[in-house]
Amino acid sequence: MNTLALLIMEDAEPKNDAERDALERSWFDEKRGMWRDGEALLRFVRRHRSDILREAGTCSSDEELIRTVKIAILRVRSLSMSAELKAQMREIEKELWIQGARTPEDVMRIKFEWTRDHAENWRKWRVKEYIYLVDRFSSRVLHALRDTAD
């Protein structure tokens, strides 16, 4: 794995106990339960299976396969763009409600401000959740990669 990939991977891993705790809470959250993204992860793995296996190389260890899946996610930065756009819109809708948008101008201003102030970090956190999810679903991810019935 090249140095750039290692640096990008390092950035996507939890940096401290607070981030690890937040990821754990997100995993078990009743409303957002990150575990619900497991099927999207497995669809992603199946969709990118040939590329992942080619990049990992022959006789790859479990650790190398998991690392290669993480790199694929970091490269694409999404498991399901349509689902993520909907989730991001829900976040913006919450902000519109919190700020009490009343006019079309309020709506446009608040959407612009949310995008400017939060979109990049929202995406980074989402990718961090996906990397965490790979670890939580590692046995199913490996099975999806090794299953030749596809």
Q: Are 138 and 66 in contact (CB under 8 A)?
A: yes
Q: What pLDDT sits at residue 44?
A: 95
Mean pLDDT, the chain, whole residue set: 85
Q: What is the pLDDT of residues 127-150, one digit of tens each?
A: 998 998 999 899 999 999 988 655
Instruction: Give the structural domain span for 84.
Output: 3-146
Q: In the chain, how many domains are there?
A: 1
Name the pTM for this structure: 0.80
Helix (H, G, I), strand (E, B) or coil at 49: helix
DSSP secondary structure code for residue 28 in this structure: H
SS (H, E, C) 75-144: HHCCCCHHHHHHHHHHHHHHHHHHHCCCCHHHHHHHHHHHHHHHHHHHHHHHHHHHHHHHHHCHHHHHHH
CA distances (Å), origin 84, targets 36, 130, 145 = 13, 12, 24
Cβ atoms < 10 Å from Cβ of 103: 8
- As given in the structure block, the two tokens for residue 10 are 């390092």
Q: What pLDDT sits at residue 140?
A: 94
